[in-house]
Amino acid sequence: MNLSKYLAVFGIGLQNTFVYRWNFLLRSFFGFVPLAGTVFIWRAIFSETKGGSVGGYEYRSMIFYFLLTILAENLITPTEDEWQIASDIREGQINSFLTKPLNYLGYRLTLFLSYRALYTVVTIIPIALVFAYFHNFIQLPTRLFTWPLAIISLAMAAGIQFFIAYSLAMLAFWILEISTVVFILYSFEYFLSGHLFPLDIMPSWFTGVLQWLPFTYELYFPIAVFLEKVTGRSLLLGLGIQTLWFFLAFLFAKLMWHRGVSRYQAVGG
């Protein structure tokens, strides 16, 4: 692999983002608006418990969970990658990658990393301000090894999210409009990955099923690792399952590309 090629692609990704800098900046800053609604909603819920807990979470720990959710989303969640990939396929721009020695999956992954890096740099100050405002809610891990495990888990969560988005975009080889499929899958993902609430407040049978699905490991699990909600055997099992989903998502992304390109060439694309 020629690393210089992908470093050049990384630079192109940064430049492309700056072309639409106002859209990028507005998306970055207004992404914090849902946090205000989340705080008001959970404040109302906990006011009814009169200082009690919900699913093992007190008000402070619940708000800290959602602070970590926003931080994780800024770091790892793809933004419009599937639409851009689908556009490359529909508009025939994919042809150039069939003749050049540049792996398309590597190309798109590099662009994804460049966008996330820039997004993180832009939002790090407002994120820091938000965390400073809620500093009394912050509960750092008590075990030193939790930090590297949480970072590894977060990196695998990013990979799972990206490879799923990439695989969905590959559907453009077969169907003209992928938006319905994307909407359906992302609806399940939003509900089952911990965006709306911590998954461990649900009944045990529900979380028992979810632990075998990829959604849990796209967001909730790395946060639970950081919060030390999973320890011991459950932690090792969770990391093992997440690693398995990471490689399965990667292999499925490669399979979808090869199947899609074969069909594309067969019909004279």
| 24 or 8, which is more confident | 8
Collapsing DSSP to helix, strand or coil, 54 comes out as: strand
Distance between CA atoms of residues 108 and 104, nearest Å: 6
CB atoms within 10 A of CB 141: 14
Collapsing DSSP to helix, strand or coil, 57 comes out as: strand
pTM here? 0.89
Average pLDDT taken over every residue of the chain: 85
Phi, psi of 18 (to 5 degrees): -70, -20
Phi, psi of 203 (to 5 degrees): -55, 150
Collapsing DSSP to helix, strand or coil, 52 comes out as: coil
Kindly report, residue by residue over 83-125, the tens digit of the pLDDT: 889 988 888 888 877 777 778 999 899 989 888 887 777 777 7
Q: For position 18, what pLDDT does the model report? A: 60
Nearest to 87 by CA among 6, 171, 28: 171
Kindly report, residue by residue over 167-221, the tens digit of the pLDDT: 999 999 998 888 889 889 888 888 899 988 899 998 889 999 999 999 999 999 9
Distance between CA atoms of residues 5 and 145, nearest Å: 35
Chain Cα centroid distance, residue 155: 9
Name, of 3-7, 169-173, 231-235, 243-247, the range with top average pLDDT.
Answer: 243-247
Model confidence at 29, pLDDT cuts 50, 70, 90, reads: low
Distance between CA atoms of residues 151 and 57, nearest Å: 23
The answer to whether 230 and 238 are in contact (CB under 8 A) is yes
Average pLDDT value for residue range 33-55: 76
Model confidence at 126, pLDDT cuts 50, 70, 90, reads: confident
Q: Exposed, middle or buried by CB within 10 Å (0-12, 13-18, 19+), for 218?
A: buried
Q: For position 229, what pLDDT does the model report? A: 93
Phi, psi of 195 (to 5 degrees): -65, -45
CB atoms within 10 A of CB 102: 14
| 152 or 24, which is more confident | 152
